[in-house]
Amino acid sequence: MKLPTGASRVVFIFAHPAGHVGAPRHYTPYFHEQGLDWHMVPMDVRPENLAETIRVLARSPNTAGFNLTMPHKPAAFELCDEVGRAARFEGVVNTIRIDADGRLVGESFDGGGFLNAARQAGIFDPNRRCVVIGAGGAGRAICHALAAGGLKRLRILNEVPGPVEALATKLRGQFPDLDISLEERFDDAGLCVNATSLGLHATDALPMDPARLPKDCAVFDIIAARRTEFMAACAVRGLKVIDGVAMIRHQLPLQTAFWRDGR
């Protein structure tokens, strides 16, 4: 692996806490495969320090851009001078580039990475019901991508009703033909998505009981830091399981092209 020098450029990935972040092992090799002397560096940034940290690091010509993960995506949206179409709908950004004039431009590629990964794995059937668990930043991105990708039937579940009802209303406004259900059932699911943080730790509860899923249902768990107990339980049932690493790999070309459009 090529070591960074003073001429290298850095993409910072911000999280809090950041101990689980393993993205650099995917991003830095990809950058080098593309002929870029770029490196990804994770940083633990407390929410109250996010704005200052971004503004200071953006002044350095070595900074190629920023990648945001929990809990920073909504706050990062507010810091941007301009946001893309997906970010505008979702109210979050997971990627920020720095333009030549110093403006911060944000976009959300979670949904695009998810949908491309699901398509490649052969688990996206627009005619089958997709159940998305979680209406946070990742959940909003995934639901938006599924709807834009032509999904006909969507069910959204969330621990508290407010966020999921707001998301459903927004989706219905943009995709009036989309059948949206908020009922907690899984018997008609062709794809079940864990879009929550449950699974980051071995002590976490499962997002749902895999026994409730049909035998031909596929499962996409967006957790990339570890093989979760939910993934293992679904695999034991013989269900096809895709993890968050696939989502990262399919975001990589989208994000890299976005960063390269900056200064």
Provide the token pair at 94: 């997971």
Nearest Cα residue to 189 out of 147, 230, 236, 156:
156
| Residue 13: strand, helix, or coil | strand
SS3 content of the chain, % helix, strand, coil (to 5): 40, 20, 40
User: Please, what is the angle between helix 244-260 and helix 110-120, to 10°?
Assistant: 130
Distance CA 126, CA 113 (A): 17
Q: Which of 2, 73, 170, 215 is catalytic?
A: 73
73 is catalytic: yes
Instruction: Just list the catalytic residues.
Output: 73
